[in-house]
Structure 1
Amino acid sequence: MVKDSTGDQQGKEGIKMKVRNSGDAQQDGTQEAPAGGHGKETVGATQGKFPNLMAYILLGLFVLLTIIFVVGMLKFKQMSSEIKDLKDDVTKQLAKMKHDLSTEIRNGHAQLLRGQTQINNNITMLSGDVGNARTELNWGQAQVKNEITRLADQTRKSHSDFWTELAEMKDNCQPRFECPDQWTLFSQKCYYFSPNTDDWSSSQRFCSSKMANLVVIDTMEEQGYLKQELKAIRHWIGLNESNIEGDWVWVDGTDYATTQQFWSAGEPRDIGNYEECAGLRSDGKWAVYSCSQKLNFICERVVSCHFK
């Protein structure tokens, strides 16, 4: 009996424990239910706030893009203005450079024209000077020709008078032939060999002042004597070309064509626009020289006639 009572007690206590556990379980279920409802409210609130956040973000992005666009437009407008100013400045600079270059080209062209005009004027002036010089030269040559002709005529007359006088003296007296000082006697003629040089006309004038002429060579003997006395020095003789080309005349009128001639090889030659006169080379041969050239000269005159 005792065992049954103990068993009953244990059974009762077991039932009590189950009831207690069951109550506790219900109490726990009652308590959990409010907790589950609060979670659902939290999730719903979170889901309601997310669309609003996206709208704010999109609105912010739109505002940011608008600001960027406006700033970009302002920058573009500013850059366009600067580009326009730069373009205007470059255009002005190019226009100024074009104007300056055109001005320099015009000035250079004007200077070139002035220089060309000056050169043309100088050429014209020089041409006039050359023409005047040519005229003066021709006039001088004509004067020289006239002077030579006059001297030749005077010399021929003087020489004729000398020979006439000598013929008269031979008829009237028995002469003794003598030559002045510094003259040498050869074959009844007196010869003067000048120590100084002069042109042909001046040499003939000197001889005329001594009652003589430049030497007239008409024999082989006379040519040989003069060659011996030359001492290798060139001398004028009394032979020159007349106004006619190639016409040679002796100062005393002796016929050139009928006298012996002792020209050097290649002579007489043409020496251009110069007056041509004859002279003895250093070897005694005849040669053509310009009449204005200065050479020694030989004067020839008849001997003096004295009564014995």
Structure 2
Amino acid sequence: MMNPHSQEEGREPGPEVEQQDVMMLHRRQRQCSRQAVQIAVSALVTAALWAGLLTLILLWHWETMQDLKQLGDTAVLNISQVSKDLERHKADQMAQKSQASQMLQNMEKIQAEQKRMKTQDSELSRNLDGLQEDLSNLKSQGLNERRTALDSLERLQEEVAKLWIELRISNGSMCNTCPEKWVNFQWKCYYFGESAKKWIQARYTCSSLQGRLVSIHNQEEQDFLAKHINEKGSWIGLRDLNIEGEFVWMDENPLDYSNWQTGEPNNGGEGEDCVMMLGSGKWNDAFCNSYLDGWICDQLATC
């Protein structure tokens, strides 16, 4: 049995077949056109996307470059500022070091000047001390010489007075006149003080009364004084102020008579340099700054 299509293929195409072919051709053309349009659109979209992406990349790259440039400029400015600050800091350090060095030099100069002034002050002080010592020695020497001269003159006057009294007595004169409140014995007058005084105070009081602390040279005088002595004790004119153990009377005569209490003088406490007469009449060395209620002055009687 023959295929109808085979029969048709053997036949010439008719108008319908051609029309169908044309329609199919048009359809294919339209499809191709659509595909071409789609491809073109896709290409355009792709190109646009790539263009946009490239634009974005370029913009990002440009902005990045701008940022990098700005950062670079900022870094350069910062580095420049830091360099300036560092140089200024170095300059300040150098100035401070120079100032410190100058201050150290000034301090050394000041210390050297202080040392020199101390040395000079020490030398001046030594010179001044030497001058003061020399002056003190001169004053002391002058005072000692004057005191010695006065003591010598006083002893000479007293010896002259004693000789004069002896001469007057040998001629029958009575040399027993004493000031008021003074008591006469032989050719001397005695004053028995009754107020609390130190030894030096008693000495000056006797001087103000034109006398001196009593000097005792014999038993008769001692017995007379023992009758009038203050029961609590009285200062007398005997002391070893200059040389320990070397007792001297106020009239500068040697210790040719003594009436010491048993065991005295003992310089108790290493400071008993003045002598008192006890109520019993015996003598005792005592502290010169002690207060005694009694003290005895003497002076030559007048004819």
Verify same fold: TM over 0.5: yes
- Judged with a 3 Å threshold, the aligned counterparts in structure 2 of structure 1 residues 240 and 169 are, in CA distance, closer, same or farther, namely farther
Structure 2 runs not aligned, ≥5 long: 1-15
Q: CA deviation at 1:172?
A: 3.3
CA distance in 2, matches of 1:227, 1:102: 86
Q: Would the alpha carbon gap of residues 255 and 64 (structure 1) be closer, same or farther in structure 2, given more than 3 Å must change?
A: closer
Map 1:241-260; keep pairs closer than 5 Å: 246-252=245-251, 254-256=253-255, 258-260=257-259
Other-structure match for 1:237:
237
Larger relative CO (CA 8 A, sep 6+): 1 or 2?
Answer: 1
- The verdict on how the C-alpha distance between 1:156 and 1:68 changes in structure 2, with shifts beyond 3 A counting, is closer
Aligned CA-pair RMSD: 4.8
Judge conservation of contact 2:213–2:236 (CA < 8 Å) in 1.
Answer: yes
Which secondary structure does the structure 2 equivalent of 1:185 belong to? strand
Judged with a 3 Å threshold, the aligned counterparts in structure 2 of structure 1 residues 193 and 152 are, in CA distance, closer, same or farther, namely farther
Give CA deviations for 1:222-249 in whole Å, capped at 9, x if unaligned.
55357429x98x867265656x665333
Alignment of 1:45-194 (within 5 A): 45-46=40-41, 48-49=43-44, 50=46, 53=51, 58-173=57-172, 175=174, 177-186=176-185, 189-192=188-191
CA contact (8 A) 2:165 2:175 kept: no
**CA deviation after TM superposition for structure 1 residue 216, in Å:** 0.5
- Decide whether the 8 Å contact of 1:203 with 1:297 is kept in 2: no
Cα 1:128/1:298, change in 2 over 3 Å: farther
Deviation at 1:269, TM superposition (A): 5.1
Q: Among the aligned pairs, what percent are the same residue?
A: 13
Q: Deviations over 1:228-276 (max 9, x none)?
A: 29x98x867265656x6653333445331643357776369569xxxx8
Q: 1:17 corresponds to which residue?
A: none
- Return 5+ residue gaps in structure 1 as ranges: 1-20, 291-295
Deviations 1:256-304 (A, max 9, x none): 1643357776369569xxxx8x5659999554659xxxxx985423434
Query: C-alpha displacement at 1:37, in angstroms?
Result: 0.4
**How many residues are matched?**
271
Question: Cα gap change, 1:145/1:227 in structure 2, threshold over 3 Å: closer, same or farther?
Answer: farther
Distance 1:226 1:141 in 2: 40
- Relative to the length of structure 2, the TM-score reads 0.63
Instruction: Give SS of 1:301's match.
Output: strand
Is contact 1:214–1:300 with CA below 8 Å preserved after alignment?
A: yes
The whole-number CA distance in structure 1 between the counterparts of 2:296 and 2:60 is 133
Deviates more, 1:190-199 or 1:177-186: 190-199
TM-score, structure 1 normalization? 0.62
